[in-house]
Amino acid sequence: MRLWICLLVALLLSSCFVSSSLLFTEADIEDSKNLLLNPGFAPYSLLGEEALRGWNLHVEPPSKDFDRIKIDPALSLEGDTSLKISASDRDVMLISEPFKVRRYGGYYSRLMIHSDSPNPPQINMQMITFREDGKVTNRFKGKTRLSEGWNRLAISAGFLRPGVCWGRLSITIPPFEEGSVWLDDAGCWEVHGFKID
């Protein structure tokens, strides 16, 4: 029994959030390639399950007929569309397709957010890195309360653990009562290479 408790504690500690002491900015992404597929939430198909290429959508509690998420051609910051999430009583999570990362890379992740809600939700974003076998190596997180106009949510990440080879961005929108939230111009860029001793 004691062994099981020790294993459970070790598992919980290994999945704790790690914050970075790095600080990258928009200026650092110049001439860097965006690692995300479909950073502007462009529609790839008229079929709902195929429209949001590059992103996986999860709603909690699950609902097969959840219709509060749409690609919006009427409002965007970059490109022709954004992703609109209307108020609901559910948690909405978007997870990007995996992208390659390097242990000695420094990364800047960004998401632009707009809301017309009188009481907008706190949006959370994580950059999660993991090994080839799927074991999570690092989690970097950021959150923001929204104000008028487009708001930037950014994360700087580096000092990745040994064995890392993949990364993903996850975006969580908690339940809110009125209005909508729009997401656009997401990205993750490798902006620095650490010197290897």
Delineate the domains of the chain, giving CATH numbers in brackets.
19-193 (2.60.120.260)
For a pLDDT cut of 90, what percent of the chain falls above it? Answer: 72
Q: What is the pLDDT of residue 48?
A: 63
The DSSP line for the chain is -HHHHHHHHHHHHHT-----S----GGGGTT--B-SSSTT-----SSHHHHTTTEEEEEES--TT---EEEESS--SSSS-EEEEEEESSEEEEEEPPEE--TTEEEEEEEEEEE--SSPPPEEEEEEEEETTS-EEEEEEEEE---SS-EEEEEEE--PPTTEEEEEEEEEE--EEEEEEEEEEEEEEEEEEPPP-
pLDDT tens per residue across span 150-165? 999 999 999 999 999 9
pLDDT tens per residue across span 13-26? 444 444 445 788 77
